[in-house]
Every structure is written in structure tokens, then in C-alpha cells.
Amino acid sequence: MPIPLIEVEQLSKRFGSTLAVNRLTFTVNAGEIFGFLGPNGAGKTTTIKMLTGLARPTAGRARLNGFDIVRQPVQAKRVFGYVPDEPQVYGKLTALEFLNFVGDVFEMKPERKARRIIELLKLFGLEHDAGSLLGSFSHGMKQKVMLCSALLHEPKVYILDEPTVGLDPRSAKLLKGILRDIASDGGAVFMSTHIMEIAQALCDRIAILHQGEIVALGSVHELRVLQGKETLEDIFLTLTGTPEERRLANII
Amino acid sequence: MLWLTGMLLKQKALAARRDWSTRTFYTVAVGAGAVLFLFILFGSYLGARTLYDDHAWKLLASIPAWAFLIYLFTDIFIAFGQALGDLYLSSDMLGLMSMPLRTPSIVVAKFVGGVVQNEVYVVTFLIPFVIGFFYGTHTPWWAYLPTLLGVIVFPAMLYAVLSCVTILTLRYVPSRHAKEVLWLLGATVPTVFWVASFSGIAHARGNLETLQLPQAPLWLPSTWIGGTVASFATGAPLTALAWLALTMSVALVACPAALAFVSRAFEEGWTQSATVGRRAVLASAKLRRTEPAWIALFRKDVLVFLRTPQLWFSHITSLGFVGYLLVGHKVQTPLLPLTVQLAMVQIGFVAILAGLNPGMTALSLEHGAVWILKSTPLRPSDILWAKFAVTLGQTAFVVIAGAAALAYGYGFGIPNSAALLGFALVMATCSVCFGVLFDTTFPSFQWENPNAINRGVRMIIPFLAGVTVLLFSAALLGTMRVVMHGERAVAVGLVLSALTAGWIAHRTLQQSLRNIAAMEV
């Protein structure tokens, strides 16, 4: 019996007269890597913001490990690790100070916090930069620090918005391995990405978002059968592209 | 160069459009600005008229130069930060520097943009002064327009000089140190000037016909434009036109030319500042024990504050104001007899000023990292208490130092010194609470310069609120002094003020908590 770690029911978000996200419903179960795809402006980041408490849904509900993100925000936020699409961190803190701060916010025990910080910094090759100010880090290095902060408290749920952007090939491969390990250990990963190859290789199930609505939901194999296309890219373009793009997809 | 200047000004104008759903605040702020304009206009008119009728020609002739000098050295606080921000911290520089544009064109365009942005202060403070002064001295009507044109271009000289200083400093001094040094200089130099010049003014002696202010330095642009105003007002139009010609030629010809020349050094300095080398790694990275969430957030904010000298700006100027009060007391130029209640109101004003900037940037200083506050298990109360503690803590440090200095300078005993300190902390609390409420209501996380987190004209509202509370508390102190006398009056007045502040803190912090809980990123 699959255990749902992320449950989304009729989730909607309206900005003035614009309905950015319209009645999304899906679950992400334990042991699953769930891909969230969509063209620019489809509503992916808005959905992620609602899941993580950065934005309040206009309607619907989102639960993380059973905790409602609106009604039980603190409990829900303990359950996940989040990496936003832009690695915005505190430029005046060192990497070590930042991770200590995150560990304190998640009320980690000192020994476990210390052990995890050292492990993660070494894992991502940041151990020699631990004492450097984050303001001097490159985009990729900041992204690695963000990943460290999300992995630090070993949550059951991971919400990642374009996690591989800015990572060098070694770190990107490392991350894929980590995500597979998380899933096989019973965790759940909710990941948005534009890179079809990653989604196709990693994700157990995929949702494709278009103009705020889910237009496809299932495993890559199921979507291939349903849409009659070979690759995820073709499926994506067919469902979300303009008529010209769909014509090109059919030709190619 | 002109084309790029026009393009950048157009972008600034487009960016200046505001969300009119908050038009109430804008109406209040614009109204307050209009009141200030009229206050300066009528005040200048009445003062000039009085001196004119009393034939105080020398005083009339010396006032404009000092008025513009005061503006000049007040504007340094803004202009220093603006030059650094526009040239080195602005996010559009990355795009502009990679385009096929000549560097001098970019620098001059940025310079003109900075001057235009500053003109709101010229319109609010200098224009009404000149109009009132001219009207009070029966200056011919034809002198108004050329003088006002000179006033409008006058700040350009300051911006040009500071831009050149900034460019040259960042070209030849390592940028990590240069930026911090420039910020501190920008706060310290004008503060020292304020205190020193007030001492000079306070020693002026004579009767109304012979009295004049000390001669302002002739090499300062404020003396040139002041000379223009004074010469027109005292019936020396040829002299006035000579001063005006000097002002205009330097502002419109010499300064842009000098800036275009110095800007040759800009590109190298900008490159260095944009590629900061990493600091040396800590030899041993010690790991700490776990702290409660709000203390972790508090510690983070303290570290950021200590590592960001730009944030010390307002505190330096607040302490400078205390210096100004002490100098005034030392040279015995009281407008009112010194009482402990008056001293309390003085330090209360310093506390209001000192608490505003920290409070109004408490949350906004999170910048792009604000997502961390909302996506981690930090309660809204954790966030509020941490922010309140950091802002009040730094403000309290400054006002305690200021109150101690003032008490010592005024020769107060322990009870009066304690009253001074207590009132300062009460007003600081009010100021911080108003600032935090404002910042949680109108947060801004997209900024380039922590000293220029712009929320538009509504930013005057926390200041007005703080001054209102100060005036109310001053009324309480004055009433108790009349009703009770002595130390009892001071104590009761202080307690009533503290109760008022407590009520304000309770209401404002409650609303701030709701704002934080409802905040979306």
C-alpha cells in the first residue's frame, strides 16, 4: 500500500484576475521520484511555493506527511527539505555559519548537526570553502550549499526546483545518485526540471503542467502509450506546444 | 552619451510607477511633503522679511551660503551611497558593461540619473527656501527663474565630485576594503562637519545690523549658489549673475567633462569590484551547540550587521546629532532654557531617528534569502522576536551612548541621567516598532543597496508616527512639570510615556506578527 508523503487536492492560486494554478490534484508516495514539468509560466514555481509555505493557496489543500501546510505550517515544514530555483543565500555568512543556522532552525542535535555538515561539505567538495563568505561563491557553489541545507536534517520529503541548474557534471551525477538513494530509503522527491533527459531517467512518475493545469500524469511508459510518442520531449511538446511546435514534433 | 542618458532616465521613470492600491499612503506622504514645502516657504519668507525690515543686510547676505552649505553636507550622506550604488552595486551594470557602449557614456548616464533622483530633495527643501527668501527681500521677479535653474543643477557638482572619488578609490584600493571605507567616510565626514560648523556659527556675535555668519568657504559650490541668492536679494544683480555663471558652467560643463575623463578608470575598478577574491579559509571550523530557532536567527542578523558597514550609517549620524546638541550647549546658545524634560525630548528625537532605519529594514534586509524564513519551521513569532531584538538592540546601544554623552555634557546627576536614558529607550522602542510595522507591511526584497531600500514617498510615515509620539510624550512631560515639579514630575512623565510606548508596541507588534504570518514570497 503506497504511503502518500505529498498530497495535493484541488490546489489553486489566483493573482487578481489571473488563475495561475487551477485545481491541481496529485500525490507523491514514499519511495517515489516525481517529476513536475511544464513550459515557462505554466505555474510550476507557484505550485512549489504553495507546497513549501511561501505562498498561500487560494483554494484546495496540500499535506506533507499528513500535515496541512496552511493549518500546521511548522510541523509540515519540518518534514521537507527545499531547494529553490535561484540559490539566494546570506552573502555575509560563511557556508559553515549558514549550515549551522539551518541546523539550528531544524532543531538538530549538536553532534548530528556537526557530523552531517562535515559529511555534506565533503560530499559536494566544499570542505575547503567552509569558512568563505557565501557572497563570494559562484552560482554553482551556492547551489551546492542549498543542496547541503536541504539534505542536512535528512527529511522524508524533498522539494527541488530545477536542482541541477548550475551544477558541474560531477555534482549533477552525484545528486541523481542521492535522489535515487532517498527514494529507495522510503523518502519522496518532488522535482521540477526543464531537462527531459533527467526527468526521463530519474522520475517514477511525471506530471506535465500547462497554463496552470495538469495535462498529463503518469509514468513515462504510461504517457508514451497514452500519447503515442516515443520520447518525453515529444510528449511534452505535443501537450504544451503551439500548433507549429506540435507539427515540428510530429515531423521529427 | 545623451541617448543613453535619456534611455536610463526613461527606465527610472517607468520603474517609479507605483501600485496605486496604496494610494492612501501616498496621499498622506505627498501631503506631508507639501506641508513641509509650505512650512519652509513661509518660514523663509517670514525670516527674510523680518531681517529685511530690520536692515540686517550682513546677516541676509550670509544666510543663503550657509543654507546651501547645510544642504550640501546633508546631501553627502545620500550622495555617497548613491554614487557607490549606481555605479558599483546596480544590477543593470552587468548588462550595460557587456553592451557596445562607451564606458564614459555609461558613467555620465548613471551620474545624470542619480542627480535627477536627488531632485526631489531640491524641490522639497531648496526651492521653497529660495522662493520665500526672494519674496521676503523683494527680489525682482526676473531673478527667480535663473536662480531656480542654478539651484536645480547645484547638486550635480556634489554628485560629480563624489562619483570621481568613488571611481578613483575603487580603481586603486582593493574593493572589499574600499566599499566599506567609502560608506564610513560618507557618514563620518559630514557628521564631523555638522558638529564643527555649528560651533563656528554659535560663536557669532554682534547686533542685528552688524551680525553675520562666518564666511563660508569660497571654493564650495554652495557658496556660489548662496552668493547668487544673496546678491540678487541685496540688489547686486551683476554679482549674482557672475556667481550664477560660475555655478552653471561648472555644473553643466566642467563636471560632466571631468567625470567623463575620470571614468576611464571606471572599467578596471568595476571589474575588480565585481570579481571579489575569496577570503582565507578558517583554519579550524568550530561547530556550535544547537540554539533555539529565534536565537539562531538573531545571531545570523547580528553577524550580518557587524559585517555590513553600510548599516552603521544611520547610527553614526544619530550620534553626530548628539554631538551637535552638546556643542550648542557648550557655546551657550540655548533657544529654550535647559531642563531635564527638554533634554529628554532632545534625546527622544535622536532615538526616533536612530530606530527608524533598522526597524524599516528589519525584514527587507533578508533580500533574496527571505524564502528561508518562510519555508523552514520558523514561527512568525520567532521571526518577529529575532528581528525586534536585533533592531532594538543596535538602536539601544546607540541611544544609550548618546544619552550618556548628553547627560555628562549637560552635567546631570544620576536621577536625571537615568530619566534621560529611560526616555531614550522608550522612544527607541516606539521608533523600532513603527519601523518594523512599516517593513512587514511594505517589505522589499529586490534591492541593490541596503541603504536605499525604496518604498517610495510613504517611507515618511514611520517618521511622522515617531515624531507624533515624541510630541505627545513631550506634552506629558511638560504637563507633569507644571502640575507636580521636581523629580516627581520627571518620573511620572517618564512612566506615562513608557505606558504609551508599551501600548504602541503591543498594537504594532501584533499587527507585524499578522503581517509576517500572511507574507507571501
SS3 B282: coil
Q: Parse chain A into domains and list their residue ranges.
A: 4-218
- Quote the CA–CA distance of A246 and A93 in Å, as a whole number: 48
Subunit contact B369:A131, Cβ cutoff 8 A? no
pLDDT in tens, B395-448: 999 999 999 999 998 889 999 999 999 999 999 999 999 999 999 999 999 887
Q: Kindly state the helix (H) or strand (E) to which residue A103 belongs, with its residue range.
A: helix A95-105
Which chain B residues touch A if contact means CB-CB below 8 Å?
276-282, 285, 287-293, 295-297, 299-300, 303-304, 307-308, 367-369, 371-372, 374-379, 518, 520-521
Give A29→chain B minimum CA distance, Å: 21
For residues B85 and B170, the answer to whether their CB atoms sit within 8 Å is no
Determine the average pLDDT of the residues in B133-154: 93
What burial class does residue A131 get, using C-beta atoms within 10 Å of its C-beta: 0-12 exposed, 13-18 middle, 19+ buried? middle
pLDDT in tens, B51-89: 899 888 888 888 898 889 888 877 876 777 777 777 776
**What is the 8-class DSSP label of residue B290?**
P
Supply the pLDDT for residue B108. 80
Per-residue pLDDT band at B278 (split at 50, 70, 90): low
Subunit contact B281:A128, Cβ cutoff 8 A? yes
Q: Parse chain B into domains and list their residue ranges.
A: 2-14+26-274, 293-518
Supply the pLDDT for residue A174. 92
- Quote the CA–CA distance of A235 and A223 in Å, as a whole number: 7
Supply the pLDDT for residue A72. 95
**Of B336 and B48, which is predicted with more confidence?**
B48
Instruction: Judge whether residue B289 has pLDDT over 90.
Output: no
**What is the 8-class DSSP label of residue B130?**
H
**Phi and psi (nearest 5°) for A65?**
50, 40
Distances in Å between the Cα of A161 and the Cα atoms of A47, A57, A164, A172 are 10, 18, 9, 14
Per-residue pLDDT band at A148 (split at 50, 70, 90): very high
Determine the average pLDDT of the residues in A21-40: 95
CA B498 to the chain's CA centroid: 27
Subunit contact A130:B367, Cβ cutoff 8 A? no
Subunit contact A54:B518, Cβ cutoff 8 A? no
Q: Which stretches does DSSP call E strand in chain A?
A: 4-15, 18-29, 33-37, 59-64, 67-68, 80-83, 157-161, 188-192, 205-210, 213-218
Determine the average pLDDT of the residues in B122-150: 92
> Residue A54 is nearest to which of B289, B293, B520, comparing CB atoms?
B520
* Dihedral angle of Cα B202, B206, B212, B213, to the nearest 10 degrees: -10
pLDDT in tens, B112-131: 888 887 787 888 889 999 99
For residues B383 and B463, the answer to whether their CB atoms sit within 8 Å is no
The residues, ordered by sequence, that sit 6+ positions from B496 with a Cβ below 8 Å of its Cβ are B473, B476, B480
**B-chain residues within 8 Å CB-CB of A54?**
371, 374-375, 520-521
**What is the 8-class DSSP label of residue B88?**
I
Domain A4-218 sits in CATH 3.40.50.410: no
Listed range (B331-335, B423-427, B463-467, B468-472) with the worst mean pLDDT: B331-335
For residues B498 and B473, the answer to whether their CB atoms sit within 8 Å is no
Instruction: Judge whether residue A198 has pLDDT over 80.
Output: yes
* Dihedral angle of Cα B135, B136, B139, B141, to the nearest 10 degrees: 10
Give A27→chain B minimum CA distance, Å: 20
Q: What is the 3-state secondary structure (H, E, C) of A166-197?
A: CCCHHHHHHHHHHHHHHHHCCCEEEEECCCHH
For residue B442, give the nearest of B454, B433, B450 by alpha carbon.
Answer: B454
Determine the average pLDDT of the residues in B343-362: 94
Kindly report the length of chain B.
521
Most confidently modeled range among A122-126, B115-119, B161-165: A122-126
Subunit contact B279:A136, Cβ cutoff 8 A? yes
Supply the pLDDT for residue B15. 61
Give A227→chain B minimum CA distance, Å: 36
Percent of chain B with pLDDT over 90: 43
CA atoms within 13 A of residue A207's CA, in its CB half-sphere: 22
Which chain A residues touch B if contact means CB-CB below 8 Å?
49, 52-56, 73-75, 77-78, 82, 84, 86, 88-94, 96-97, 100-110, 113-114, 117, 128-133, 135-136
- Quote the CA–CA distance of B75 and B264 in Å, as a whole number: 26
Determine the average pLDDT of the residues in A211-229: 90
Supply the pLDDT for residue B284. 46
Instruction: Judge whether residue B31 has pLDDT over 90.
Output: no
Instruction: Judge whether residue B97 has pLDDT over 90.
Output: no
**All 3 cell numbers of residue B277?**
577574491
Q: Roughly how many angstroms between the first and final C-alpha of chain A, as a whole number? A: 41
Instruction: Judge whether residue A94 has pLDDT over 50.
Output: yes
The amino acid at B227: G
Give B449→chain A minimum CA distance, Å: 13
- Quote the CA–CA distance of B188 and B160 in Å, as a whole number: 20
The residues pairing with A35 across neighbouring beta strands, listed in sequence order, are A191, A206
Instruction: Judge whether residue B22 has pLDDT over 80.
Output: no
For residues A211 and A242, the answer to whether their CB atoms sit within 8 Å is no
SS3 A205: strand
Per-residue pLDDT band at B357 (split at 50, 70, 90): very high
Question: Please, what's the b/e burial string for B187-225 (b: 16 or more CB within 10 A of its CB; e: otherwise)?
Answer: beebbebbbebbbeeeeeeeeeeeebbeebeeebbbbbb
- Closest residue in chain B to residue A87, using alpha carbons only: B369
Determine the average pLDDT of the residues in B305-327: 85
**A-chain residues within 8 Å CB-CB of B276?**
135-136
For residue B398, give the nearest of B497, B312, B306 by alpha carbon.
Answer: B312
Give A109→chain B minimum CA distance, Å: 6
Determine the average pLDDT of the residues in B138-156: 92
pLDDT in tens, B175-197: 666 767 777 777 777 777 766 66
Instruction: Judge whether residue B282 has pLDDT over 60.
Output: no
**Of B512 and B264, which is predicted with more confidence?**
B512
For residues A193 and A40, the answer to whether their CB atoms sit within 8 Å is no
- Render B402-459 in DSSP notation, one character per residue: HHHHHHHHHT--HHHHHHHHHHHHHHHHHHHHHHHHHHHHS-----S-TT----GGGG
For residue B297, give the nearest of B368, B428, B391 by alpha carbon.
Answer: B391
For residue B73, give the nearest of B177, B179, B201 by alpha carbon.
Answer: B201
**Of B260 and A124, which is predicted with more confidence?**
A124
- Quote the CA–CA distance of B477 and B497 in Å, as a whole number: 8
Instruction: Judge whether residue B283 has pLDDT over 50.
Output: no
Give B110→chain A minimum CA distance, Å: 25
Subunit contact A113:B287, Cβ cutoff 8 A? yes
Give A55→chain B minimum CA distance, Å: 5
> Residue B379 is nearest to which of A74, A82, A102, comparing CB atoms?
A74
Strand A157-161 versus strand A80-83 pairing type? parallel
Strand A188-192 versus strand A33-37 pairing type? parallel
Top residue of B19, B20, B281 to mutate, by most chain A CBs within 10 Å, is B281
At which residue does the C-alpha cell 506631508 appear?
A: B32
**A-chain residues within 8 Å CB-CB of B304?**
90, 92-93
Per-residue pLDDT band at B207 (split at 50, 70, 90): low
Determine the average pLDDT of the residues in B353-357: 93
